């Protein structure tokens, strides 16, 4: 976060405080007064002509934030120089404007924090809030800030109570506003049973840790005397002033990768000494106690390391890391939801394929049943027709046997008639009267022969009908065989469709196994990443807790980086 972004956050609160009607616009006279005050606290040369020209009275009415930004950027923010003004005075101006309208402590005097502590929490909120408007602080940053305050008081934060409060409190834009945050602290739910003085000291400690400044004794270069100076630590320099008002700057120590910090033994009546060595000279300093010396040496070493890495500030770097971790968690959550959705789609596709397979199997069973019924029906028709033809054939055989018996009788009768004719011929001469009888007998014989011929013709007709029925039976048998082959071909086609569906089902199972392998690989990578993070946490702890000559390793609690270890532990647990 650069200086312009920090200033804009505080100015945004001042602008919204002047917007009484909440229309997004402020009157020109109020903006004129605000701009004049910003000129003063930012130590910028006044430009009365531009101020009067830009905010002269006309018919345009109030000005929106977008209309005020061009003037703010051109005549104020572009002229701001870092270190030329006191940032705390600037914040106090904006806090005074916005607190009158928005900050509402307990009127009975039962507030957990004082007005000055509320101002410092407001500054910390601006530092940790998201870089988008309206300004909010996400729940992770709220928990981080409260944990640092509780750590400074050597108490443990009630996370369950915090979660209950956050779940009940409406959160706009995904976080808490500064007024919701201050109301939560003043409610006493999270800091129950702690005295106001202890809370005030903890807030002051965390505020100084983030601002990175405080009093130290410094040894002069020429006169070699000790003087108390107000030191202000930046990633690129360590500046010192006459007092904490920072009106008179006495000097600055440029920090680069060639600088180092060393702990010195007590001498000259001074204790808790350390020095900052640069390429040009060595600066000797003394802290009030061992804890303060350890905090300052660790902070200066961290600033040197961040300067070598090209980073701005430790707390800004940690804030960026926490933001990146939140983004990574959200990305992993989105990827997990996408993977779950994809697995659900694959499962639905599998179930749909199984349903189609069941339908195909059911259709095949129905076709087999219909084929069996059709085959049975045709077999019954064939058997009935065969029985009918056998009956007709037996009847024809019986008729033929009866005709043959009649022909035998007729032949026997004809033989008798021939004998009689012979007898009549022998008796022709003698029996002239028997001639007519013989003629009549011949006529009878002719009639019998005609009847015999007619019977033979009928027998031939019956034989022709029998042959015709036999040919029809053979044609019907051939037709039945052809239909059977067609049904057999249809069954083979359905069996092929069934095999293709089974192959598709097998492919879906293979794809599911591949997806399971991908998920396992992703889990292995996540475990490997967690192992790497633990390794770097160990390395970071070693760097963050240097050991001086002859000193035992001590666990730093409170101070400039008192809340750093809980942060790493929380990041460890979140990665797990």
pLDDT score for 391: 92
pLDDT one-digit tens code per residue, 283-294: 888 888 887 788
| Bridge partners (DSSP) listed for residue 286 | 217, 273
User: Per-residue confidence at 369, pLDDT binned at 50, 70, 90?
Assistant: very high
Residues 120, 123, 128, 133, CA torsion sign: positive
Number of H helices, E strands in the chain: 14, 9
Instruction: Print the SS3 string covering 359-409.
Output: HHHHHHHHHHHHHHHHHHHHHHHHHHHHHHHHHHHHHHHHHHHHHHHHHHH
- Would you state the pLDDT for residue 314? 53
Distance CA(42)–CA(55), nearest Å, equals 20
> Distance between CA atoms of 97 and 232, rounded to whole angstroms?
27
**DSSP H/E element including 276:** strand 273-277
Using CA atoms, how far apart are residues 191 and 457, in angstroms rounded to an integer?
130
What's residue 565's pLDDT? 45
CB 304 within 8 A of CB 257: yes
- pTM value is 0.49
Q: Which CATH class is domain 88-95+103-319?
A: mainly beta
Strand spans (E) along 44-94: 63-64
| 98 CB neighbour count, 10 Å cutoff | 21
User: From the CA atom positions of the chain, what is the Rg in Å?
Assistant: 57
User: Is 217 within 8 Å of 292 (Cβ atoms)?
Assistant: no
First to last CA, the chain: 29
Kindly list the distances between the CA atom of residue 85 and the CA atoms of 35, 81, 390, in Å, as whole numbers in the listed order. 16, 8, 127
Q: Which of 500, 502, 497 is nearest to 364 (CA)?
A: 497
Q: What is the pLDDT of residues 498-556, one digit of tens each?
A: 888 788 888 888 888 888 888 888 888 888 888 888 888 888 777 776 555 555 544 43
Domain boundaries, given as residue ranges, for the chain: 1-87+96-102, 88-95+103-319
Cα–Cα distance for residue pair 79/39, rounded to 1 Å = 10
Q: pLDDT tens digits, residue range 122-167?
A: 888 887 787 778 888 787 787 877 887 888 787 777 778 777 777 7
**Nearest Cα to Cα of residue 248 among 222, 276, 229:** 229
Cis peptide preceding 459, ω within 30 of 0: no
Show Cβ contacts of residue 127 under 8 Å, excluding neighbours closer than 6 positions. Answer: 1, 6, 210, 315, 319
For 3-49, the pLDDT digits (tens) are: 788 888 888 888 888 887 777 788 888 888 888 888 888 888 877 77
110 in Cβ contact with 190 (< 8 Å): no
Q: Which two tokens stand for residue 538?
A: 């160990």
Backbone angles phi, psi at 285, to 5 degrees: -140, 160
**What is residue 154's predicted lDDT score, i.e. its pLDDT?**
79
Contacts of 575 (CB under 8 A, 6+ apart): 325, 529, 530, 533
Per-residue pLDDT, 547 = 55
Instruction: Find out whether 344 and 524 touch, Cβ atoms under 8 Å.
Output: no
């Amino acid at each position: 976060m650069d200086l312009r972004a920090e200033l804009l956050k505080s100015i945004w609160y001042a602008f919204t405080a002047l917007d009484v009607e909440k229309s997004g616009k402020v009157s020109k006279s109020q903006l004129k007064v605000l701009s004049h005050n910003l000129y003063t606290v930012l130590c910028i040369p006044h430009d009365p002509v531009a101020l009067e020209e830009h905010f002269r009275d006309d018919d345009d009415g109030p000005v929106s934030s977008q209309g005020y930004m061009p003037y703010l950027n051109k005549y104020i923010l572009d002229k701001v120089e870092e270190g030329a003004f006191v940032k705390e005075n600037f914040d106090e101006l904006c806090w005074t404007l916005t607190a009158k309208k928005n900050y509402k402590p307990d009127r009975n005097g039962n507030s957990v924090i004082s007005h000055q502590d509320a101002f410092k929490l407001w500054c910390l909120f601006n530092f940790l809030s998201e870089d988008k408007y309206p300004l909010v602080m996400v729940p992770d940053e709220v928990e981080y800030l409260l944990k640092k305050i509780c750590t400074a008081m050597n108490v443990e934060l009630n996370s369950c109570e915090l979660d209950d409060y956050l779940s009940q409190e409406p959160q706009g834009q995904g976080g808490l506003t500064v007024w919701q945050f201050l109301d939560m602290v003043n409610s006493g739910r999270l800091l129950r049973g702690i005295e106001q003085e202890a809370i005030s000291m903890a807030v002051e400690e965390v505020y100084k840790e983030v601002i990175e400044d405080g009093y130290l004794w410094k040894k002069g270069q020429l006169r070699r005397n000790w003087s108390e100076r107000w030191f202000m630590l930046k990633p690129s320099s360590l500046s010192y002033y006459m007092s904490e008002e920072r009106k008179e700057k006495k000097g600055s120590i440029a920090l680069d990768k060639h600088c180092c910090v060393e702990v010195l033994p007590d001498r000259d009546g001074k204790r808790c000494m350390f020095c900052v060595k640069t390429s040009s000279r060595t600066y000797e300093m003394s802290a009030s106690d061992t804890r303060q010396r350890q905090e300052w040496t660790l902070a200066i070493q961290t600033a040197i390391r961040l300067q070598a890495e090209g980073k701005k500030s430790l707390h800004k770097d940690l804030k960026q890391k926490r933001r990146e971790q939140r983004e990574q968690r959200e990305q992993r959550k989105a990827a997990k939801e996408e993977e779950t959705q994809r697995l659900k789609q694959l499962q639905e596709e599998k179930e749909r394929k199984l349903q189609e397979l069941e339908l195909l199997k059911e259709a095949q069973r129905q076709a087999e049943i219909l084929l069996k019924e059709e085959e049975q029906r045709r077999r019954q028709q064939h058997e009935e027709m065969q029985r009918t033809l056998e009956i007709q054939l037996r009847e024809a055989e019986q008729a033929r046997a009866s005709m043959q018996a009649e022909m035998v009788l007729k032949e026997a009768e004809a033989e008798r008639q021939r004998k009689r004719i012979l007898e009549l011929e022998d008796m022709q001469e003698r029996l002239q009267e028997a001639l007519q009888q013989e003629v009549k007998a011949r006529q009878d014989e002719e009639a019998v022969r005609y009847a015999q011929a007619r019977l033979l013709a009928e027998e031939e007709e019956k034989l022709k009908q029998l042959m015709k029925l036999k040919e029809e039976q053979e044609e019907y048998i051939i037709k039945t065989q052809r239909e059977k082959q067609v049904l057999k071909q249809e069954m083979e086609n359905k069996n092929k469709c069934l095999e293709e569906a089974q192959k598709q089902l097998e492919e879906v199972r293979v794809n599911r196994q591949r997806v399971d392998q991908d998920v396992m690989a992703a889990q292995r990578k996540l475990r490997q990443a967690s192992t790497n993070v633990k390794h770097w946490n160990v390395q970071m702890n070693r760097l963050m807790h240097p050991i001086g000559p002859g000193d035992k390793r001590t666990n730093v609690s409170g101070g400039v980086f008192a809340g750093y270890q809980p942060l790493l532990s929380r990041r460890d647990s979140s990665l797990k």
